Structure 1
Amino acid sequence: MPGIKPHSKRLLDPTSSQRWVAHLDDHVNSLAWSPDGRWLAVASVSGPITIFSGSTGQVAHTLTGHGFGTCELGWNANGSVLASVGQDGKVKLWNPQTGEERCSLPGGGAWVEHLAWNHQGNLLATAAGRKLRLWDAVEGKLLREYPDHRSTIADIGWKPASNVLTSAAYGSLTFWSIDKDEPLERFEWKGSILTMAWSPDGKHIATGDQDATVHFWIFQSGEDLQMWGYPTKVRELSWNSTGRYLATGGSQTATVWDCSGKGPAGSKPIELEGHANLITALAFQHKGSLIATASNEGKVIFWNVERPRRPLVQADFGSGISQLSWSPDDQYVAIGTEGGLVTVCTPPRGK
């Protein structure tokens, strides 16, 4: 069971403070803020899900989660449903007010690894192996099972402010309608995709790849380019709120590309140097120019991407950082570690 230690000593400098700390029994595998920032849902790799008060760290509910492990969490748009998927092959919908399991649905494979809500919050997409399924999350009803992918689905997501569902697998990005089985479009590329991220305006989509590259498409035209030179595979991507900057991991340095104007081709990226080990998580705030980067030596660093020469503040949490997420209003940052620590901090002012 998690233990709570609210308002413990500050780990960050005077411009930023730790609000509360909790300790889970295992590696923090996923965390997700409710849309209003009231709750923070956290899953440990062994399966249990804890719903904390975002402001105080008090435990509202402890959910059984998934046998063998919970893979991912996500809230619908109004925060009335928390969805989870896991290694028991199930998709589960929870009532966050009561902590009750609303329904348990078959994900189509032994492991269900990914989920994604549409922007209205009434449709939930899930991925298990090569299977992509679409659910009516109000009734817990399967609406559609798309044709099997040619390889394991690495990531899924919705084009911003639309009902275009996107799936990433070896060799391609595929775009799907909610109304038919056939793809709307496919961007082909011979490579293994690990993660993908839409720009907030829906104009660009980027992937982090197994071959230590970042691939970048202009959605309207299908034109693409590639950024290389990373020392290892790229699993971390984050766009800022305007879609100008794309931050990437794949190194002990966070690399930020300027995608404005003609895009990043031929441009020199911003390099945020401060970590001794590989980046494991990074995230821009929802609005503004701050970005938080984290690494497997346990360090979290805050930067202003408009003034990137030196960090605003940094802290060492003693265990590799596995999860990092800004609250919806950017007032807090939630951090999860490989050792089971969960903490919520107030970020520095972006000066």
Structure 2
Amino acid sequence: MSDPSQEEDDDLAINEDEVVRVIELDDGEKDFHDSDENEDDDDNEMDTDEAAAAAPTQDDSVLTFSGHRDSSVICVRIHPVNPEIVVTGGQDDRAFVWSSRDGSVILECTGHTDTVNSVGFSHDGALVATADMKGLIKVWRVDTGAEVWSFEADEVEWIQWHQAAPVLLAGTRDGQVWMWKIPSGDLKTFVGYGPGASCGKFLPDGKHACVGYEDGTLKIWDLKSNQAVCSVSGHDGHKDSVFCLDHNNSGSLILSGSGDMTAKVTNVATGKVVSTLTCQQSTEEDSVESVAFSKTHDYAVTGTLGGSLEIWDLPSKSVRHKCDHPHGIVKIVWSPKGSSFYTSCLDGNIRQFDSRNGQLLNTWQGHSAEILDFDVSSDESILVTASDDSSSKVFSLAAQTT
């Protein structure tokens, strides 16, 4: 696809060897979740015979947002500056910006005609973007609620804001990656080659982005030249779709997780895979659903659809600790402040672990269905979830174990 922009703005350039400890959380039978969101809206009601999460015995949340009514809440993000502002998107074709303090709606992001599957705030929180599965992307001013920009792409898989500029990146099912300056709409494209762009992230230098594709390829794009500075595929690459990505603090390393049950560590400067971490597989349908680099140690964490969570020591490429979950792991988020990390599980619970010893520090309950997404505020005061039970819940982290 050609780039419709006539001018380029420089501002746009912007083998498991050893297990030390195994922690069993539940001996119950594992259940698996079909993450394909292309279901008809009439299928919103969850089949209770197949649901991984049962009715919770307690609700540890401090607030429940139910604005999406009888539809799954697909995605959630917390404002980067003010944790009292949250955005959620749902299967009801709607997105809401709302208050985590009292649940009141600040802004309803209207105009979508399909599931809103990706949302996010700009680096300063001035703008909020919402994207749906048909490919419509909209950007709104948070303070006034005014829509300032929109674009129609093809089946958007994900969107992400640049960490220091009003620049938005998006990947689509047809493999295109788009980048816009907002609100001017100045555009650059990173041309696809067929397989979908399944996940992507800006790198910390602000000048490159890493994108994972459905055929297992990993590409690092130069944002100024529109060229791929390296591409990892074939013998060294993943043998199945890349589902998740993370980078270390400096951006020198990329960690990617795949349906081939491996997580690969790639050196950004050389484009070489320096480690292949083979994760524990529970069933033929298993996959690596989330990966995360430690903020404080040479550790990485991988979580699978089969419920296997492994804390890896990167220098030795060995498993330090195993912290298996009773059902599939959806997402891992590292603590903004320390050595712990959080996980969401298809049993509807949030958990916090200490990466140094694998100890389970906290468990938060409250959902009656799978947690599909969650986010942790930048000051680590709250955690907000998005669930298949049609709700988004706010959990206080103030009294957590450190």
**TM-score, length-normalised on structure 1?**
0.87
Match of 1:300 in 2: 350
CA contact (8 A) 2:311 2:319 kept: no
Secondary structure at the counterpart of residue 268 of structure 1: strand
CA contact (8 A) 2:207 2:224 kept: no
Deviation by residue 1:316-348 (Cα, 9 ceiling, x = unmatched): 522111112111110111112111111111124
Match of 2:63 in 1: 20
User: How many pairs were matched up?
Assistant: 330
Secondary structure at the counterpart of residue 235 of structure 1: strand
Q: 1:254 aligns with which of 299, 309, 313?
A: 309
Match of 2:210 in 1: 166
CA contact (8 A) 1:217 1:225 kept: yes
Cα separation, partners in 2 of 1:41 and 1:10, compared to 1, 3 Å: same
Cα separation, partners in 2 of 1:95 and 1:10, compared to 1, 3 Å: farther
> Aligned pair 1:57/2:103, yes or no?
yes
Deviation by residue 1:136-180 (Cα, 9 ceiling, x = unmatched): 1131232x1222234111111111132202211123211112222
CA contact (8 A) 2:249 2:295 kept: yes
CA contact (8 A) 1:194 1:234 kept: yes
Q: 1:208 aligns with which of 250, 257, 282?
A: 257
CA RMSD of aligned residues (A): 2.1
> Aligned pair 1:139/2:184, yes or no?
yes
Q: 1:336 aligns with which of 380, 386, 399?
A: 386
CA distance in 2: counterparts of 1:56 and 1:245, whole angstroms = 38
Deviation by residue 1:232-253 (Cα, 9 ceiling, x = unmatched): 1111122332363322111323
Flag structure 2 segments of 5+ consecutive residues without an equivalent: 1-56
Match of 1:238 in 2: 292
Deviation by residue 1:181-214 (Cα, 9 ceiling, x = unmatched): 3212222215221221112221211111112221
Cα separation, partners in 2 of 1:349 and 1:167, compared to 1, 3 Å: same
Amino acid across the alignment from 2:259: Q
Secondary structure at the counterpart of residue 116 of structure 1: strand
CA distance in 1: counterparts of 2:100 and 2:300, whole angstroms = 27
CA distance in 2: counterparts of 1:150 and 1:140, whole angstroms = 25
Cα separation, partners in 2 of 1:310 and 1:147, compared to 1, 3 Å: closer
Match of 1:270 in 2: 321
Secondary structure at the counterpart of residue 365 of structure 2: strand
**Displaced runs of 4 or more, over 4 A:** none
CA distance in 1: counterparts of 2:110 and 2:183, whole angstroms = 21
Matches within 5 A, 1:1-351: 11-12=59-60, 18-23=61-66, 24-25=68-69, 26-36=71-81, 37-64=83-110, 66-107=112-153, 109=154, 111-128=155-172, 129-142=174-187, 144-169=188-213, 170-188=215-233, 189-192=237-240, 193-221=242-270, 222-228=272-278, 229-231=280-282, 232-242=286-296, 244-250=298-304, 251-259=306-314, 263-265=315-317, 267-273=318-324, 275-347=325-397, 348-351=399-402
How far apart are residue 30 of structure 1 and its match?
A: 0.8
CA contact (8 A) 2:149 2:183 kept: no
Match of 1:4 in 2: none
Q: With a CA cutoff of 8 Å and minimum separation of 6, indicate the structure with the bigger relative contact order.
A: 2
Match of 1:3 in 2: none
Cα separation, partners in 2 of 1:180 and 1:96, compared to 1, 3 Å: same
Q: Which moved more, 1:318-327 or 1:51-60?
A: 51-60
Cα separation, partners in 2 of 1:61 and 1:216, compared to 1, 3 Å: same
CA distance in 2: counterparts of 1:68 and 1:235, whole angstroms = 24
Deviation by residue 1:116-136 (Cα, 9 ceiling, x = unmatched): 222212221111221111111
CA distance in 2: counterparts of 1:269 and 1:65, whole angstroms = 48
Cα separation, partners in 2 of 1:307 and 1:224, compared to 1, 3 Å: closer
CA distance in 2: counterparts of 1:56 and 1:264, whole angstroms = 47
CA distance in 1: counterparts of 2:297 and 2:111, whole angstroms = 35
CA distance in 1: counterparts of 2:341 and 2:206, whole angstroms = 26
CA distance in 1: counterparts of 2:133 and 2:251, whole angstroms = 31
CA distance in 2: counterparts of 1:161 and 1:10, whole angstroms = 44
**TM-score, length-normalised on structure 2?**
0.77
How far apart are residue 10 of structure 1 and its match?
A: 7.0
